[in-house]
Amino acid sequence: MITLYHAPQSRSFRVLWLLEEIGAPYRLETLSVFDGTMRAPEHLARSPAGRVPAVEIEGQRIFESGAIIQYLVETRAPHLAPAPGEAGRADYLQWLHFAETMGAHLANLTQHHIVLREEWMRSPTVMRLEAKRLAICLAAAVAQARDGWLLPEFSAADIAVGYAVHVAGRFVRLDEVPGARDYLDRLAARPAFQRAQAQDGAAQIYRRDFYPPPEG
């Protein structure tokens, strides 16, 4: 049995979605981003940075979402990635890890718009810059997926990047990035995505549909 430590609307959604794509049995342990439970000693033993996701798989603990995705694909869903040495492997790894680049911009925007609640703590310059950087990354990803998916077939890279596209719509107007809405619609039409959304839980982080950058 796999145990996933999860918080709604966080990067752990990527692992939740992947588990639904795989059809693997799992147990969901939902934590809060804001109530301090992720800093409790028992969770820090699972995730040294006090974050989610973290998983326990047959006694093995893994606490980085990219590593969790790669491990689950290698051990339970090899059809979701080209194997080492196969055509498309380099592209798969490139897009799988490009999701972390997008995630860094999302994290900065989330920090400024939501976590830093006092206006004086925020940097309007950073907020505008990060929104522009995120839009550039978003455009690159959806251009790659213009014919369907990031690779010729749906893969775990689409899960990693797809989550970033899903959240990017909180900070970048998807209709202004050619292809972004269509790619997200294809992802959201997948039954596993819909099942993961049903399991995700009540909104904790993003309580507004859109967080515009400050006017310059």
pLDDT in tens, 124-152: 999 999 999 999 999 999 999 998 999 99
Domains and CATH numbers, the chain: 2-80 (3.40.30.10), 89-197 (1.20.1050.10)
What pLDDT does 94 receive?
Answer: 98
Contact present, 201 and 8 (Cβ < 8 Å)? yes
User: How many Å apart are CA 62 and CA 85, to the nearest integer?
Assistant: 25
Instruction: For residue 213, say if its preceding peptide bond is cis, omega within 30 degrees of 0.
Output: no
Could you tell me the two tokens for 81? 């990635």
Q: What is the pLDDT of residue 93?
A: 97
**Radius of gyration of the chain measured on its C-alpha atoms:** 17
Phi, psi of 127 (to 5 degrees): -65, -45
Looking at residue 129, its pLDDT comes to 98
Which residues neighbour 156 within 8 Å (Cβ) at sequence distance 6 or greater?
A: 18, 69, 70, 73, 77, 80, 81, 92, 96
pLDDT at position 36: 87
Residues with Cβ within 8 Å of 124's Cβ and at least 6 positions away in sequence, in order, are: 213, 214, 216
Ramachandran assignment for 49, one of left (phi > 0), alpha (psi -120 to 50 degrees), beta (any other): alpha
Question: In terms of Cα–Cα distance, which of 208, 203, 211 is closest to 10?
Answer: 203
pLDDT at 40: 94
The model carries a pTM of 0.96
Q: Low-confidence residues of the chain, pLDDT below 50?
A: none
Q: Which helix (H) or strand (E) holds 60?
A: strand 60-62
Contact 155, 80 (CB under 8 A): yes
Cα 63 to Cα 12, 22, 82: the distances in Å are 10, 19, 23
pLDDT given for residue 63 in this prediction: 96
